[in-house]
Each structure stands twice: as C-alpha cells, then as structure tokens.
Amino acid sequence: MKLRLFALSMLVLTAPALADEGMWTFNNFPSAEVKKKYGFEPTKEWLDQVRLASVRIAGGCSASLVSADGLVMTNHHCARTCIENLSGLQKKDFNKEGFFAKTMADEPKCPAMEMNQLVEITDVTKRVQDATKAVTDDKFAETQKSEIAKIEKDCATSDEFRCDVVTLYRGGRYDLYKYRRFQDVRLVMAPEDAIAFFGGDPDNFMFPRYDLDMTFVRIYGADGKPLKNDTYFKWSAAGAKEGDLTFVSGNPGGTSRTLTVSQLEDDRDYRLPQRLFRLSEIRGLISEYQNRGPEQKRHSNDTLFGVENAFKALKGRHGALADSAFYGKLKANEEDFKKKVNANPKLKKEFGKVWDEIAALTKKNATMRKEYGALEGGPYSDLFSKARTLVRYAAESSKPNGERLKEFTDSRMPQLKAQMLSNAPVYKELEIAKLTWSLTKIREDLSPDHPIVKKMLGVKSPAEVAKALITGTKLDELAATAKDPKTGKPMADTTSRTALFNGGAAAIDASKDPMIEFARSFDAEARAIRTKWENEVEGPLKKQQEALAKARFAVYGQSIYPDATFTLRLSYGSVKSYLEDGREVKPLTTFAGAFTRHTGAEPFALPKTWLDAKPKLNLDTPFNMATTNDIIGGNSGSPMVNKDREVVGLIFDGNIQSLGGDYGFDESQNRAIAVHSSAILEALEKIYGAQRIVDELKGKAGSPAAGQP
C-alpha cells in the first residue's frame, strides 16, 4: 500500500483553509466556516465549555473530564506508564491482567502523573517581541528566554497554576496559557493490553481496527477528595454515525507545515533517517532484553511500545517527504509564497532574504548535531537523567529566575519536583542494558579519541562503565533507611534522591554517588555546546522564523491556523469512508469484526474476559470509527464530541495515510481513528462489570460516591 498525501492547500498558507483542515487554537477558531459546511456555529460559550472539559497529560497525550467527580478519560497507551509503575509497586501485571477499582477507596495514585486544564489565554506578543526588537542574533535566545520567564512567573501565583508562553506561527504570535495543575491522579479502570492494543504493531496506524484503547483515571483535589467540577463532557450512548459532525479537542504534539524547503530537506535527508536508525537499534536492544524473562518483558513493555510507535510514525513522515509528487507540491507552495513577497517592494526589502538565512542556519545546526546529541542529549538512562537533573537543579535553583535553564524556571518547578520525588520503580538491569548501548553509540558517534569519550569511559568498556555506575548509584532509592551497624538506629539520609534534591549545591558537591560524579564530570562541556547552539543557531533561527511569520501574515492574513505545539487545539470533521487502492474503507467497525479477527495467537488474541462475555454482547455495537478530523501525535486520548458537547468517541490513532500529516493534510485520505462511545459502554457494562463507571458517565444519581462494584 502506497502512502498517499497531497498538500492540497498547504494548510497554513491559505485563508480560510479548505476541507476539514486545521488544528485550531480556541481563540481563533473558524466557527463561520464550520457553519458554512455543517450548519452549526460554535459560540464562544460553547468553545469555553469544551476548553475547560479538556485536559492535558503533562509530558504527552490528551484527556477529558467526563463526570462531575473528576473522572477523566484517556487512552490506555497514554496511561501505560502509570499502569506499569503501579504494577511494579504492587507486584502485579495490570497491563496484562487489566485493572478495575471497585470503589473509590481502591483507586491508587499514579506516580508523577500530572494533568493540566487550560483556564486562560492571553496575547503577550507585543511584550515578547518588544523585548528582542533591538538585540543581536547571538543574544536573541537569551533575551527572549529571560522575558518569557518573567511573564510566566508573574502569571503563576501559586503551585496550583502552571503558566507557559506558547510560541505560535513560529514566532508570529505569543500567547500566555494559564493552566490549573493537578498532581493527584489515580487509576480507576484499564482493560487488558491484549484488547487495548489488539493487533499490536502490525495493526498500528491501520484501519479497520478493533481496539479498546481506553483508560479511566480520577483527579483528586488538594483535600484528598475527588475533584468537584461543573464543566465536563456528557456521554452519548448512541455515539456518532456516518456523516455526523465531530470535534476533537486535544493537544497535538507538533507539526512542520510551515518549515521552509531547506528545513524539510534536512528532515528528509538527515534528521529523520538518523532518528529511524537509532530507534531501530533501540527496538532491537529492548526486544533482546525482553527475552531474558517475563519480569523483564513486563517492565520494558512500555518502552518498547513507545519505540515501535515512534518508529512507525517517523517512517510514515519520511515516506511523505520522499514522495516526489508531495514534495514537489511543498516546493511549489514555497515558491508561490516567495513570489508574493518579492512582488511587493516593501515586503521584499524586509523579508526577501529570510529563506536564505534559514537555509544557512539549518546547515550550521547540522554541524553541531552529533556533539549536541551526545553531550546535552546525554546517555540513554533514567538514572543518568535523574543525576543530571540533580546536578543542574542544585546549580540553577539559586540563580535569578530569568537566568536559569528553561526547564528549571519557577513555572516548571512543581512538575520537576513531582517527577524527581516520585516513587516510580527503577529497574537496574534494564538501566545497565540501556546505558551500555548508549555509551557505545556515543563512542561511535564522537570517536574513541574525543575528549568527552575519554572522560566518560577512561580505559574501560561501555559495559564495564555502565555496570559500575548503575550498581553503585543509590539514585533509585527515594529515601535511604540504612541503620547504624553499632547502634541499630537509623542513619542520617545523605545519599538518596530525596536527600540530594533537598540538600542543594552543598549536598551535590559532597556527593560520592558514582552517577552524580559521572554527570558532573562533563556537565561544563554539555552546557558549553548548549550555549553555543542557543547563541549561534536557536536564537538566530527564532529571529528569522519570526520574520517569516510576519511575512506570512502580510501575504495571507491572520485567519490561519499555526503549527501544532502540544497545546490545546480544536479540529472539526465528520465520520467518513475513504478509498484505499480503489477499495472503499467503511468508517465504522463492530464487535463482530473483532471476534472474526481473533486468531488465538498474539497479537490477534482476544482476552479471556471477551471470549467469556461474547454471548452477552451486542455484536453489532460500533467499535472503532474513522473521521476526517485533522490530528497528529499528542492527540492520543482526545475526546471526540458532537455539537451538543457529548462524547461520541475517544481518539487513539490515525490511519497509515495520516502519517505524513506532520507536513500536509488530505481530507480524501487522512483519517483520525477513535473508539466509539457505544463500544466503551458495552465493554464496561457487559465485559468488565464496571457498573459504577457506567452510572457515573450517565450521570445517575448516587454515583460514584456510593462506590458500588
């Protein structure tokens, strides 16, 4: 099957967009265009209600509030880390067996899971752009970072809020997004992995699909009780049918639809191939590791899922850029844009050279790629990441907010602290395997003679260094509980992650933990390459992209949508079939199709719960559906709602044709894939006996506080 994708309108370069195209910000949604095509015009009140009922999982994925008691719906694959962590803590395998808390008291807290609700959007474009108006290229990134840190600090009046200045149109606009932050999130229900990812990697990004990729969690307030909220999505038991209007509210991770041709060529010829090569090696590493035993397989499944998903997604993106017809259209769109700029003497004088400047910076970026990745990216190890964070936190936290590395600014501290002080289990055997591979790759990339490689390895092999570091570190311990061998009394905790985090620079400087010493040994060189990149590439590139955005506004106006930035967006579309190799692909599958597809062998083996429940099920119940909504990675877990703001589906994937959606959109082929709302109710009630969740979704009196199974 050939990946087909045509940039019919080049999306963000025309206004208004054609077809069901665009991941729109809530303060620039084309309500009139929706009315023109579908007869329904979303009002500001309607948009506000959708925005407040939508939540973001910090670190990736989307979700939604679906009850007045803080019940949240997302994908199983978005909650895999929580499920895997709880499995490790409770010595279970909830990914394999599934999980259902029969009462609220049984809902366990997910380690380090945070959710954000967007409560306010403020335009701060003038303030950000004024701050950098007269600065030189090499000071652009530093000056902008400082101003953004000030804006975010002024906004976040307490740890209850998170404030992010969001760059839109690659610098054409800056909005301040104020989020309400929730850090007590507890697992309510998750089906077995066998049905949440039915079909496995072979079916990933394919359609027809038969996946129950859902999980329910609950937000708890500061009082330790379920969050009471007035704004949430009601449930549509009937769901959507072919032709129905659908909206998807979520946080698409990132698109590249406004990159220049020179940047696209860099993606096609260098960046994407390198990432694919690296992912394929990691996939082999983790696959081999899983052969060591069932426990190794259990605790590395989430890692393997992420790697395989990323590999297939990036392969699709590369395939789009490698398609001569598609790429030719991208080049033609840029040439048309250039002609319009150059036809206006004023625009030509101001913006005519921007494409050449971006091309030069793209080449310069390529020269730093290996060293930046090895040093600032750092070795592939969770324990190394913790060590580097501790080293840098100790150094950065004492600086003025505007002078810190951006990941240590005040607005990001609550999430950083939650992650560092999380009780999520660490698996040292897996850490040794990852670090050994990573150090081997760093030596391969930089050469054995590179000063940093010599500093990292000395005269030892990567395997020897990795084993010594991982077995010797105590950073996997949240708190030390050692006792004095003479007195039997608890000894002062000076070695654990908590002690080092709270101890500041003095504790880090005094630490003899081998991983801390390792991270400290080349931190100066890592910071140096980061500073060089920020001053010579990032800052100048931001300045040129800001100019390009202004040129785009001058030519096409501002009634256009920006590239995705892992911030809340709204897309519109409808349930619709499409053609694949001349064959019509119907937009809805059913439970009957899942049983037909069942072979009894992984990954097409339905769980025993499904086989046992088959006589009770309505096999005509819609299962998965395809719509024309414009989505991308990060939209996983997004609610799909109708014009009445009722849940009709749960986004979990796109079809294979949509993988080039990073660069363009084609309504005739691109499809968003969702779990149908009817399927969710059918499974909860008849397969899992989760009546208390069904009652809560339906808003029945007495639920969920009654806590009935």
pLDDT for the residue 702: 64
One-letter amino acid for residue 375 of the chain: L
CATH class of 11-114+183-257+562-698: mainly beta
pLDDT for the residue 488: 63
**Range 288-301 burial, b when 16+ CB lie within 10 A, else e:** ebbeeeeebbbbbb
pLDDT for the residue 509: 95
8 Å CB contact between 94 and 653: no
Q: Which residues of the chain have pLDDT under 50?
A: 1-17, 705-709
The two three-digit tokens of residue 452, written as one number: 């940093």
Q: Between the CA of residue 571 and those of 3, 174, 236, 250, what are the distances in Å?
A: 23, 21, 19, 9
pLDDT for the residue 1: 42
> pTM for this structure?
0.93
Supply φ then ψ for residue 393, to 5 degrees.
-60, -40
pLDDT for the residue 660: 92
pLDDT for the residue 533: 97
173-182: strand order across its sheet:
99-100, 185-190, 215-219, 71-74, 62-65, 54-57, 115-123, 173-182, 161-168
563, 675, 607: which is closest to 191 by C-alpha? 607
Cα maximum dimension of the chain = 85
8 Å CB contact between 311 and 353: no
- How many angstroms separate the CA atoms of 682 and 235, rounded? 13
The two three-digit tokens of residue 571, written as one number: 């897309």
- What single DSSP character describes residue 537? I
- How many angstroms separate the CA atoms of 693 and 217, rounded? 11
- CA-CA-CA-CA dihedral for 626, 628, 633, 636, to nearest 10: -50
| pLDDT tens digits for range 534-572 | 999 999 999 999 999 999 999 999 889 999 999 999 999
Residues 6+ apart with CB under 8 A from 357: 540, 544
For residue 118, the SS3 value is: strand
Residue 654 forms beta bridges with which residues? 672
pLDDT for the residue 558: 87
pLDDT for the residue 118: 98
Length of the chain: 709
8 Å CB contact between 191 and 214: yes
